[in-house]
């Protein structure tokens, strides 16, 4: 007779990946390769009472970058595409833009020339399109754009350009008592209007870059006005700062895809007890895009080295995901 103990000795994997027999696979879009095994092992350890790696439910904070981690970011950050659309929409109210860079090039359709001004040009475009209105008005603008604008390559809604394996991962973590957060370099108020519907992540769990706002009474009605001044750049060193400001605890799991996420992963890894850090590596030029060390969007260079050195989990999109987008592939 084979006892339970003998069985466990013969198949130690049962202890490490205790998917109950007959339970549906929580991560069907993930191949049975190392990253999926690492995720299942981490969650089993963190949720097994008495296990040395047990994590109290209160402490189960998981933070996700957005651009390139939850949704795509090629051929350029989607929020930048939003800003370019807004420049066109606002141009009639700004006749001076016809002769003023970066707006003049943009309005002629020459995005490359417009962005040649570097960060300064981008900040000018962002401030001209993201400030000056109330927070309620901005939410309406984002809602309208996200409901209708199409991706330049796939012609899909941007909210369809999300990674099916990551949607499954978010659901799986939440089912195991994790609170899932977005911690993104993108604007918090650009993501909050649709993050709950698309990712199941409510506004209060979206940390992002912020511009300053000002409280005003307009005809007795209280409003918050968006000002053309940066309050937080929630990227690189700014990510742990944003996490500390808005969450106030160190995450136990963090997910990113670029050097912009490195400090968040370092901060997460440095805590006590069970820790999980994962990088999504864009390796699939056919179904999605392939880019890393030399990309101007979502550069992954130092992070890739550190992930290897520290033994963090690295997803090879091409090898580890059997499905990329809910609709299939690019």
Give contact residues for a copy of itself (rule: CB under 8 A). 58, 61, 135, 179, 188-189, 192, 196, 202-204, 206, 210, 213-215, 217, 221-222, 224, 231, 237-238, 240-241, 244-249, 263, 266-267, 270
Q: Which is nearer to a copy of itself, 72 or 183 (CB)?
A: 183
Residues in the chain: 330
Sheet hosting strand 221-232, strand order edge to edge: 221-232, 206-218, 179-187, 61-64, 253-256, 276-281, 313-316
Q: Which residues make Cβ contacts (< 8 Å) with residue 17, sequence separation at least 6?
A: 37, 40, 41, 44
Is residue 282 helix, strand or coil? coil
- What gap in Å lies between CA 191 and CA 183, rounded to an integer? 11
Place of tokens 């490195």: 262
- What gap in Å lies between CA 265 and CA 306, rounded to an integer? 10
Q: Which is nearer to a copy of itself, 164 or 268 (CB)?
A: 268
| Phi-psi group of 99: left, alpha or beta (phi > 0 → left; psi -120 to 50 → alpha; rest → beta) | alpha
Q: Which residues make Cβ contacts (< 8 Å) with residue 238, sequence separation at least 6?
A: 185, 209, 232
Q: Which is nearer to a copy of itself, 25 or 204 (CB)?
A: 204
- Closest approach, Cβ 64 to a copy of itself, in A, equals 15
Q: Which is nearer to a copy of itself, 234 or 320 (CB)?
A: 234
- Closest approach, Cβ 282 to a copy of itself, in A, equals 25
Is there a contact between 151 and 145 (Cβ–Cβ < 8 Å)?
no
Q: Which is nearer to a copy of itself, 24 or 217 (CB)?
A: 217
- What gap in Å lies between CA 106 and CA 104, rounded to an integer? 5
E strand or H helix at 217: strand 206-218
- Closest approach, Cβ 58 to a copy of itself, in A, equals 6
Q: Which is nearer to a copy of itself, 266 or 295 (CB)?
A: 266
- What gap in Å lies between CA 216 and CA 212, rounded to an integer? 13
Beta strand pairing status for 179-187 and 206-218? parallel
Is residue 234 helix, strand or coil? coil
- Closest approach, Cβ 231 to a copy of itself, in A, equals 8
- What gap in Å lies between CA 246 and CA 179, rounded to an integer? 14
Is residue 15 helix, strand or coil? helix
- Closest approach, Cβ 250 to a copy of itself, in A, equals 9
Beta bridge partners of 209: 187
- Closest approach, Cβ 131 to a copy of itself, in A, equals 14
Beta bridge partners of 277: 254
- Closest approach, Cβ 238 to a copy of itself, in A, equals 8
- Closest approach, Cβ 229 to a copy of itself, in A, equals 13
Q: Which is nearer to a copy of itself, 163 or 178 (CB)?
A: 178
- Closest approach, Cβ 146 to a copy of itself, in A, equals 16
């Amino acid at each position: 007779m084979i006892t339970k103990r003998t069985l466990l000795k013969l198949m130690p994997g049962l202890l490490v990946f205790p998917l109950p027999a007959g339970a549906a696979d929580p991560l069907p879009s993930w191949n049975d390769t190392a990253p999926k095994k690492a995720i299942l092992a981490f969650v089993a350890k963190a949720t097994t009472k008495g296990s040395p790696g047990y994590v109290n439910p209160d402490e189960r904070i998981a933070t996700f970058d957005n651009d390139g981690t939850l949704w795509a970011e090629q051929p350029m950050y989607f929020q930048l595409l939003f800003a370019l659309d807004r420049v066109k929409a606002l141009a009639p109210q700004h006749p001076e833009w016809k002769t003023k860079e970066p707006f003049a090039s943009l309005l002629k359709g020459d995005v490359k020339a417009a962005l040649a001004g570097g960060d300064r040009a981008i900040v000018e475009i962002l401030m001209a399109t993201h400030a000056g209105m109330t927070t309620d008005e901005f939410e309406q603008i984002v809602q309208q754009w996200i409901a209708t604008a199409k991706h330049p390559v796939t012609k899909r809604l941007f909210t369809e350009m999300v990674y099916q394996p990551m949607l499954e991962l978010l659901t799986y973590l939440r089912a195991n008592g994790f609170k899932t957060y977005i911690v993104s370099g993108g604007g918090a108020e650009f993501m909050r209007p649709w993050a709950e519907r698309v990712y199941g992540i409510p506004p209060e769990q979206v940390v992002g870059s912020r511009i300053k706002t000002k409280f005003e009474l307009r005809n007795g009605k209280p409003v918050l006005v968006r000002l053309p001044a940066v309050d937080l750049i929630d990227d690189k060193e700014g990510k742990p700062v944003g996490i500390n400001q808005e969450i106030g605890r160190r995450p136990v799991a963090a997910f990113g895809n670029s050097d912009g996420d490195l400090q968040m992963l370092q901060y997460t890894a440095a805590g006590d007890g069970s820790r999980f850090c994962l990088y999504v590596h864009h390796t699939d030029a056919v179904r999605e895009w392939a880019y890393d060390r030399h990309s101007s969007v979502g550069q992954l260079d130092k992070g890739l080295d550190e992930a290897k050195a520290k033994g963090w989990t690295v997803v090879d999109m091409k090898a580890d995901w059997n499905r990329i987008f809910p609709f299939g592939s690019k």
